[in-house]
Amino acid sequence: MALTGLEIYKLLPQTNCKECSFPTCLAFAMKLAAKQAELRACPYVSEESKAKLEAASAPPIR
């Protein structure tokens, strides 16, 4: 199941550094949820958060 923007936001560093080209981490999270941004754009996301986000975005195994 896909994560919502708020669920993604909770896994981001929440620094609002703008290095991803979005004004806030929440804006970036919403774009990630809409598949309009790439997680690699955030230089500060932790490896643990990356793993959680990648697992949540993987298609279900049937």
In 1-58, at which residue ranges do the beta strands (DSSP E only) sit?
Answer: none
CA 24, CA 28: separation in Å to the nearest integer?
Answer: 6
Contact 53, 16 (CB under 8 A): no
pLDDT-derived band of residue 56, with 50, 70 and 90 as boundaries? confident
Q: Where are the domains of the chain?
A: 5-55
Q: Is the pLDDT of residue 22 over 90?
A: yes
Class of CATH domain 5-55:
mainly alpha
CA 33, CA 52: separation in Å to the nearest integer?
Answer: 14
Work out the percent of the chain whose per-residue pLDDT is above 90.
81
* Phi, psi values for residue 34, rounded to 5°: -85, 5
Q: What is the pTM of this model?
A: 0.88
Mean of all residue pLDDT scores within the chain: 92
